Amino acid sequence: MILCWLLFVPFIGGFLCWQIERRGAPSQLPRWIALLTMLLVVVLSLWLWLTGDFSLTGAIGDSPSWAREFRVGWIDRFGISFHLALDGLSLIMITLTGFLGVLAVVCSWNEITNRIGFFHLNLLWIIGGVVGVFLAIDLFLFFFFWEMMLVPMYFLIALWGHSGSKGNTRIGAAIKFFIYTQASGLLMLVSILGLVFAHYSNTGVFTFDYAVLRDTPLSGPLAYVLMLGFFIAFAVKLPVVPLHGWLPDAHAQAPTAGSVDLAGILLKTAAYGMLRFAIPLFPDASAQFAPIAMALGLVGIYYGALLAYSQTDIKRLIACSSISHMGFILIGIYSGTLLALQGVIVLMIAHAFSAAGLFIMSGQLYERIHTRNMPEMGGLFGRLGALPGFGLVFVMASLGMPGTANFIGEFLILFGAFETVPWVVVVASGGLILAAIYSLVLMHRVYWGTPRSEASLGGLDPREYSMLLVLLVLTLWVGLYPNTVLDISQTAMSEITHWFAVSPLPTR
Amino acid sequence: MNQFPTQLLALAPLAVLCVTVVVVMLSIAARRHHFTTATMTVIGLSLALVSLLGVLRITPIQVTSLFIIDDYSVLYAAIVLVAALACTMLAHAYLETLPDRREEFYLLLLCSTGGALALIASRHFASFFIGLELLSVPLYGMVAYAFRDRISLEAGLKYMVLSGAASAFLLFGMALLYAASGTLEYAGLVDGLANGGEHQSWVMIGVGMMVIALTFKLSLVPFHLWTPDVYEGAPGPSSAFLATVSKVAVFAVLLRFFTLAPPAANEWLLTLVGVIAFASMMVGNLLALRQRNVKRLLGYSSIAHLGYLLSVIVAGGELGTEAVGVYLATYIATMLGAFGVITLVSSPYSGTDAGALHHYRGLFWRRPYLATVFTLMMLSLAGIPITAGFIGKFYVIAVAVDAHLWWLAGGIVVGSAIGLYYYLRLMVIMFLDEPGESRRDAVSGWGQQSGGIMVLLLAALVIFFGVYPQPLIALVHAAGMAHG
């Protein structure tokens, strides 16, 4: 039942925000409601974290071991049920979602000044949709949330975004984002249906249940095609390089809260989808596809880094650096060793923290100097109070400095993948150098160089300071004591490794 | 002859409608009163709807050689009657200030609905043709009802000429089939044709001509050219009627014809239908991209939607029949909602309807609930989850995947992706702030009007079926077609 609350609390909170604004309540009230809602989500997930048992008990079976489960019938005609389940992987993602949700509400405290209630409706409904994605274990339900979360994100970018140079670009960016993800999502729907009908023709039973569909015997080529449908949907969201076109635009035009959500959690839904669905449902086909996926990951690492280096807009730079980081995640996922998968979890969290921190800071810069164009900055160190100091730390985190969570993530991925694909690791490591280059370039262009004037632009107020401080503490915490996370995800990752490795069942 | 009372009962909905037509006509002749006429129409349609419950006890039953009343026809009759009720409610708000005679509109609407009922229950070419004509001829009048407005009159004439041409094709096709098989019943066609092998090419031409006529009525490519003009020119309630009642009835008979007289033996015909479906998805969506008028845009989008639906005919099968029912029900609710909002924004009548995109600019901040309804309808047309449209699209893709028609499934995916662009654009315009050049709004108390209540109900329905489609699926699943 607590899973339902986790899912519905953001939706209810968002609706309240909108209704309260319409009733003419004071304009700060929706913010407080949104903040309380998100804190409630965090508290609920932390409570699950502390009370749940996520240790590896006994042998790994053919069906996943859920810590909690909730199930009611939904559409009996097709055997679709409202089936939520939680294991270590989803719990980590949900906690992260709740936490970044809090940050998104707080960081838009001064930025969003019109239609506050409706803004928070959209913000909270994104969070609700993402929580649904992380909880849903029925394929229909998963797709349902996967598509649903796009609508509020679309509104967030289209209505509160920054217009670029040419007229309506925020609407253009929003539509681009929506079409990319929706069209690829429909491919996934076709794949889901293909899988369901394959199961139906074998057994005469309609079902969309994850655990049942995992046992569907598929012929090789069919499995490969269906797997591609899933992979493309996730690859667009991650994004993998030839399908990344929406990302820089969406990030650049989105409001800060939108960027934080987008980089922090929406991209992670894709990695989650690969870990939860693409690989366990089609282990053979995935193993066959792994070299291509890893090659795409390599391309992403280098291409993203090169793109990032050439950007002048600070938010676009951070967005492109995300492409590069996601390349590591893709390699980690498809190398399939336990160590690499654990690294993927840590890197996802670390990237969420560091990207959120950088986006929040670029939002704060924009509030002070009203530009995101880096050539117009320079020499800001010392004019902004503690902001550049924080900036330095998050840039260091982003380039994978030891001591930060990003280092642990990248190290585990490379170390774990080395036993299976040494050459990929060798090439990928080169990407770390490029990461250092573009990160330092960011630092240099914005904070160093000759200042335009000596006047102070105003330091951080307590709200901004505490946001960044919390992010910083968490980055260091996970960097210095990653077992907090690794213990929780151990079971789920072992299962995936196991299924990936021993895939050739006699029935397949 | 002791079957006679039951047979009469089976035709009760149609009889009730005919009586209503006469009563409404007489009352108009006695004294013109807009509200009374509208009320009588609503009562007549509701009675017909209630009488369907009685009909349900005696299905399936064949009434003369012309009609077959089975659960299938009851389901589609119910959909048609509900849609007609919705159109009546919209018409009342809209016609209130029409500087002309208002009451005859209801007469035309009732006649046309009667035609739709006859068409749905037909099992014979004679009832097919009579039903189709009874459905179409009053529509000419309805489309041109605001005839002082030039584009309405033009739309009416355009529809009349092209519709007449389509009817000629239909008749010719039927004549050829009769010549080849010697029977006018759908079910008899198969046996009749089996005996006359040498007439095969005549049969092809005959069926082909009938398909042409029906694709015209359903506005499928390449016979779609009239659609945007007529949708744009017709008064809001007429467009709504045209987009819903007429489409449902024609599609229902098309599906029955293809099921009872399976031209499935003709592989090329099914391929042809598939090509028409694919072309409709692409052309409808692509042409909609550049429209600046909401009604035209919905016209093009309806071309695409019927293309999605037609792909089900190619697949056929029991799941296909079910998919058609679910898709049509969700599509009708959505289309009625969308046209309902347009009509409410254009009500009461004051010249050309509020069709231009800028009329809708900032609607959300002036009429939040109405704009929310419209947003929902756009999302439903685009097939986004939590709306009924998603369930319909899910069904259509499921049928295509089940039948291994990958190219049609691909067409649906690509078409939907293109379609998103204009649905989203229309949606976001309502949320933009800049004041438009000319504002048109629904009256402030729109929620209390009959049309407003109807639109809100439709929105609730779209959400309900989007979140919990099980009742709808069970209903459609139960409404099987009687063979024979």
Domain limits, chain B: 4-478
Cα–Cα distance measured from residue A328 to residue B71, given in angstroms and rounded to the nearest whole number: 58
Q: Give the gap in angstroms from C-alpha A253 to the nearest C-alpha of chain B.
A: 15
Q: What is the DSSP letter of A78?
A: G
Q: Which residue of A has its CA nearest to B417?
A: A183
Q: What is the structure's pLDDT at A505?
A: 41
pLDDT tens, N- to C-terminus, chain A (508 residues)? 888 988 999 999 999 988 888 887 777 888 899 999 999 999 999 998 888 777 766 666 667 778 888 889 888 888 899 999 988 899 999 999 999 999 999 988 888 887 888 899 999 999 999 999 999 999 999 999 999 888 999 999 888 887 765 555 788 888 889 989 988 999 999 999 999 999 998 888 889 988 888 888 888 888 999 999 999 999 999 888 888 888 888 888 888 888 898 888 899 999 999 999 999 899 889 999 999 999 999 999 999 999 999 888 888 899 999 999 999 999 999 998 899 999 999 999 999 999 999 999 888 888 888 888 888 887 787 788 788 888 889 999 988 888 899 999 999 999 999 988 899 999 999 888 999 999 888 888 888 877 777 777 777 888 888 999 999 999 999 999 998 888 888 888 888 888 887 654 433 3
Q: Can you give the C-alpha Rg of chain B in angstroms?
A: 21
Please calculate the CA angle A445-A451-A454 and round it to the nearest 5 degrees.
145
What six digits make up the tokens of A393?
């730390």
Q: Could you say which residues of chain B have pLDDT below 70?
A: 1-2, 192-199, 262-265, 434-442, 444-448, 483-484
Which pLDDT tens digit goes with each residue over B272-308?
A: 889 999 999 999 999 999 888 999 999 999 999 999 9
Cα–Cα distance measured from residue B452 to residue A93, given in angstroms and rounded to the nearest whole number: 43
Candidates A186, A196, A236: best to mutate against B (most CBs of B within 10 A) is A186
Residues belonging to chain A: 508
Residues in chain B within 8 Å Cβ distance of A141? none
Would an 8 Å CB–CB cutoff place B474 in contact with chain A?
yes
Rounded to 5 degrees, φ, ψ at B171 are: -60, -45
Q: What is the structure's pLDDT at B252?
A: 93
Q: Kind of pairing, strands A80-86 and B61-63?
A: unpaired
Q: Which residue of B has its CA nearest to A75?
A: B470
Are B469 and A75 a contacting pair at CB < 8 A?
Answer: yes
Are A145 and B420 a contacting pair at CB < 8 A?
Answer: no
CA distances from B435 to A169, B71, B347, B369 (A): 19, 51, 20, 19
Owner of token pair 């029912």: B325
DSSP string covering B433-446 = -SPPSS-----TTG
What six digits make up the tokens of B44?
């007549």
- What ipTM score was computed for the predicted complex, to two decimals? 0.88
Question: In one letter, which amino acid is A283?
Answer: P
Q: Kind of pairing, strands A68-75 and A80-86?
A: antiparallel
Which pLDDT tens digit goes with each residue over A18-39?
A: 888 888 777 788 889 999 999 9
Candidates B289, B390, B391, B413: best to mutate against A (most CBs of A within 10 A) is B413
Cα–Cα distance measured from residue A467 to residue B180, given in angstroms and rounded to the nearest whole number: 81
